[in-house]
Amino acid sequence: MKLTTCTFLFVLFLSFTHIRAQTEGENKNYIPNITVSTPQAASLSKVGEIPIDISTGRINYTIPIFEIKEGNFTMPINLSYNYSGLLLSETPGYAGVGWTFNIGGSIMHSVNGLNDENHEYNKEYVYKYLNKLPPYDDVTSPAGRTTIQHFLENIANGIFDGEPDKYNVNAGNLSCSFYLDKNNNPIFLKNENYKLSGYSYSGFTLTDDQGINYVFNIALGADFISSSDINYNYTSSFLLKEINFPNTTNKITFEYDSNPISYNDSNQSQSIIKTSNQIAYSNLSLRTNTTTTVLNTLKLKKIITSTYTIELQYNTNPAEPAIAVITNLSVKDKSSNSVKSYDFSYSGWTGRRTNLMNVKYNGAITNEMEYDMSTPYPIIADNSDYYKKDLWGYYNEKGRPAIYSSINIDSNPNIKPDYNSTKIGALTKITYQTKGYSLIEYEPNKVLMQSGEYNFPYAADALTEKNYGANAQSNGETKIDDTLEITKAPVSLSLNYSLRNLTSYPRTDNRRDAKVLLVKIDDQTTIYSTSKGWDFEGNWLGVATVNGTATAYISTAGKYKLVAISDPGTTASLTTKLEQLPDNFNQTVGGIRIKQIKNCDFNGECITTAYNYEQNAKSTGIMLQRPKFYSGYYIQDNTGCNSTYVRQDFYNYTSVYPLSNFRGSPVLYKTVEKSDFGKNQNNQLLSNGKTIFTYYGQPSANSLVDEENYFYTGLLKTKTIKNEANVVLTNQANTYLFGEKRDIPQYVYALEVKAVRETWLPAGNVIGSGCILPYPRPMNDYQVNQFRHEAKNYGLLTDENKSFYYGQEITQTTANNYNLNTGYLTNQINTNSKGETLETKYSYATDAVMAGEPLRDLLISKNMIGSPLKIESYNNGNKLSEKVTKYGSYTPTGQSLLLPQYIYAKKGNIVPDQLEKKITFDSYDTFGNITQYTPENGSPVTIIWGYIKSVPIAKIENATNAEVAAALGLSDINSIDESSLAGINNLRTTLPNAMITTYTYIPLVGVSTITDPKGDKITYT
């Protein structure tokens, strides 16, 4: 951008000044500050470091596209890339593989148990049962226990719903999750001061703590179909229809296609059923589970604001029209002229997948992408393709379904991760508009495991295998093979032995023997032995060869030996394979992480940022959820009736619990080192030191219900910066609120019930009269899991920063305190190395201290409670200042708008009634724009708004709205817009005591001209 009247560039900030010098300095902090942006070509990205979600090792790159603004409200539209590997069953969104197009909003509905839409009344039953209220309080009488057991049976059989559904909200900067309790009240996952109205069958309106209303009322239906006859329809999501505000009549609306299009989301899995009975008969069977969800979709067409419209175009998948990517986003003014246009180009479709290749702004490429496409994307061609994935769901080309002839509960090597398959589609290069570029390298995720916890159904990476054997030949000998050194115990050894009589060997005696042993060396204890003898009575009696297997249990570590002993004419052998794991070892798990990123300028000069996820050659990664394959059992006990007993145990080839609930990653890295290095002018490799990050987090026992764990998982614990000599320069240490409870809790309850046993008895206790299931039943017929959730508080408590300079330590500590009922910050104390403190206190509309404030109840009713009404500052306990904002109700068009009316302030620790009024906001227009304000002891200032009341076009100091309107021959100033600028400029003559500044704009770009009170014009091009 070029300034035509000056030779330098600058960003212009339009701040309202005053005529009277005595008010200018003191009151300027309370005067509204309106920023006027100069026109510029959008700079969507730049050469620089690509951000990484360091605690997971995933790339976290964002390309900003556009930002919707309405007053202080912003809603960013951007592309974000958070790829962790190719997930076989994942259908990409509107920006292709790995990318998320963050636009619009929705509430996603996840069904737990049964669909809540038809079972809201069941929540009352669950509440009464878990709180032991009638009719579920009688656990002693047969009738009372029968009532309880019928209730549990109804949940187990899918008649009643015991679990609340979960709703996830995402719209711009708004992100939260909630359940609905028995009274339809939202119980958020963490303490949020949001209001919610509506129902699970019709949609919701969520009001945030600024009073902004998000209306989600466009329901998208879905049908769930499974091979186990669990079929239902439900609402999969509610789309965002409107955003409206408490301080303006402006609103933002979202338009969608009129007719939904559906696609099928199908999946297959396998489970093993182990059946046994009273005579120890056991059988394994394989069951295939197929699920299909038919999902309806509606494409977002337009976003309409008061000043412009955003229109979207798509490229639909030719085989499945419901699958699509956004190809163009155009921002148009109210005359339908395209002011900003963004194009998105893609590769061809492979099944449901395509890659985003470049982004253009107004025809110029700003970002170009390259991907690892060494292997094409997989396509589901037949049912066997559903099994081409590892334990974590990432693509594994080698994956195969299990077959009946090879069922093994503990072995399924087909679900082992395959790095070459997982990294398909990973972003490898970004080229920027400056011709600089970034090169990205990946590596497999690894975690540190202990040998005792390893339960993957395939061999561990660190497993060592060695074969041992003792073989005694027919010449008669004792053979001791290499000693086995067992470092980990207990362990089971599988032994294979062979004892053989060579009948053709010359006989030296009438008896021959062969023997094998496993012996502990230090005390000569025999752990296992077997032998065979043959007698000669005209010929050798018995079978000539005996082969067999046995299992030896080793309880203590140590040295052992295999021994084989043979008489002349016999052979003996004993073999085994010793598999050992070290106490701790690195194990590959699903997904990929960033190894290093090389950022280069257009000359090819590069800085490489490398990430180290190990300490002392041990991974710092932990699995946040260990896989569990056993899902339960069921017993049919008829032994008291017809002597039959059947037990079925159920195992899954995939984990019962989700393994990647934390930001889509299965791994948290507790310590990560980030280092930068490059080459100097002599081509020598130079290091710029390193930064060491540590994070909070621990494994979850059950990722389905232990959602609170994820609120502090991945929070920064410490950050240490070291120079190239490994000397500490700075150190940051953080502590947090970890789930502190509100004073008055609100709960949502959940109950999971499985019927695990049926005990049938003869009718009337008469054998032969038939079998019945008697009531009340034993309580161990049911497996009951229960939990309750309440919204808790999570936030930064302390932030301690230490800097080290030439042996001196400088410390700065910030301590935060919160109101646990609202979750709001109540005070913040900054302390330096000398112990000096600077404290800031905050008071909100919901605080008792603000009870006397005007319109306080109305602010609360509209949920405008998130901004402090009073701010106080203290230095070492001495009051420095206080600022109070008082609201008024303005009705410029009959609609009540809540907006600041007065700001009061004071300096020093004086009595409260000496607060001084600093500014009065005299009037606003219907859009919530300030049209007149008056500084205390100052002159009124009129602001005129134009371009559909979106930007100020004139600031007229020392004149009221009425005076300006009269000078222009109007009854008020509301009808004035940019077409009236000639008349406004003439006010310099008709209002000689006023100071007038006017502005013109290029819509959606920025200011075009500024004419100051003297009539001098500055022009921007």
The predicted-structure confidence for 192-237, as pLDDT tens digits, reads as follows 999 999 999 999 999 999 999 999 999 999 998 887 777 889 999 9
**Which residue type does 224 have?**
F
Predicted confidence (pLDDT) per residue in 617-651, tens digit: 999 999 988 899 999 999 999 888 877 899 999 99
The pLDDT score that the predictor gives to residue 5 is 33
Residue 33, pLDDT above cutoff 90: no
Residue 768 is predicted with a pLDDT of 65
pTM above 0.85, yes or no: yes
Say whether pLDDT at 37 is over 60: no
The SS3 call for residue 989 is helix
pLDDT tens column, 118-138? 899 999 999 999 999 999 999
**Per-residue pLDDT tens digits for 433-474:** 999 999 999 999 999 999 889 999 999 999 999 999 999 998
| Overall residue count recorded for the chain in this entry | 1021
Would you tell me the crossing angle of helices 142-156 and 122-130 to the nearest 10 degrees? 130
C-alpha span between 946 and 936 (Å, rounded) = 27
Among the residue ranges 768-772, 905-909, 912-916, the one predicted with the least confidence is: 912-916
Q: What is the pLDDT of residue 558?
A: 94
Residues 64-87 have a mean pLDDT of: 94
479: tokens are 């053979």
Mean pLDDT of the region 695-706:
80
| Residue 701 pLDDT class (50, 70, 90 cuts) | confident
Collect all residues with Cβ–Cβ distance below 8 Å to 560 and sequence separation of at least 6.
Answer: 483, 484, 485, 486, 518, 519, 520, 521, 527, 554
Q: Counting Cβ atoms within 10 Å, is residue 526 exposed (0-12), middle (13-18) or buried (19+)?
A: exposed
Beta strands in 654-727 (DSSP E): 667-669, 671-679, 685-695, 716-722
User: CATH 2.60.120.380 spans which residues of the chain?
Assistant: 464-580
**Average pLDDT for residues 512-524, to the nearest whole number?**
95
Q: Cα(first)–Cα(last) distance of the chain, in Å?
A: 6
- Give the model's confidence band at 767: pLDDT under 50 very low, under 70 low, under 90 confident, else very high: low
Q: Please, are residues 12 and 3 in contact by the beta-carbon 8 Å criterion?
A: no
Check whether 49 has a pLDDT greater than 60: no
Calculate mean pLDDT across residues 91-119.
94
Asked if 985 contacts 967 with a C-beta cutoff of 8 angstroms, the reply is no
User: With contact defined as beta carbons under 8 Å apart, do 694 and 670 qualify?
Assistant: yes
Helices (H) and strands (E) counted in the chain, each on its own, are 7, 66
Query: CB-hemisphere CA count at 13 Å for 760?
Result: 18
Q: Is the dihedral of CA 502, 505, 508, 509 positive or negative?
A: positive
Residue 6 has pLDDT above 50, yes or no: no
Amino acid 30: pLDDT: 52
- How far, in Å, CA of 784 to CA of 752, rounded? 6
Whether 11 has a pLDDT exceeding 90, the answer reads no
The amino acid sitting at 380 is: I
Q: Which two tokens stand for residue 724?
A: 């190239």
926 has a pLDDT exceeding 80: yes
Q: Is the dihedral of CA 159, 649, 590, 57 positive or negative?
A: positive
**Taking 50 as the threshold, does the pLDDT of residue 402 lie above it?**
yes
pLDDT (0 to 100) of residue 41: 22
For the chain, the farthest-separated pair of C-alpha atoms sits apart, in whole angstroms, at: 142
Residue 406 has pLDDT above 80, yes or no: no
Are 447 and 454 in contact, with CB atoms under 8 Å apart? no
24 has pLDDT over 60: no
Instruction: Look at residues 493, 406, 462, 372 and name the one whose alpha carbon lies nearest to residue 86.
Output: 372
| Rounded mean pLDDT, 418-425 | 97
Q: What percent of the chain has pLDDT over 90?
A: 75
Nearest to 869, CA basis, from 888, 890, 889, 887: 887
Q: Taking a C-beta distance cutoff of 8 angstroms, is the pair 720, 804 a contact?
A: no
pLDDT of 9 > 80? The answer is no
Contact between 574 and 517 (Cβ < 8 Å): yes
Q: Beta-strand (E) ranges in 502-583?
A: 511-520, 525-535, 545-554, 558-566, 570-580
The single residue listed with the structure tokens 């950022």 is 599
Q: Give CATH for domain 464-580.
A: 2.60.120.380
Chain mean pLDDT for the chain: 90
Contact 128, 134 (CB under 8 A): yes
Q: Fill in the amino acid letter for 60.
A: N
Q: Give the mean model confidence (pLDDT) for residues 391-396.
A: 95
Q: Which of 587-591, 740-744, 761-765, 783-787 has the lowest mean pLDDT?
A: 761-765
User: What one-letter code names the amino acid at 491?
Assistant: V
Whether 21 has a pLDDT exceeding 80, the answer reads: no
By three-state DSSP, how is residue 617 classified?
A: coil
User: What's the rounded mean pLDDT across residues 802-809?
Assistant: 90
**Nearby residues of 361 by Cβ (< 8 Å), 6 or more positions away:** 41, 42, 44, 340, 341, 342
- Spell out the alpha helix ranges (H) of 55-137: 122-130
Structure token digits, residue 400: 């195969």
Which of 26-40, 396-410, 734-748 is modeled with the greatest confidence?
A: 734-748
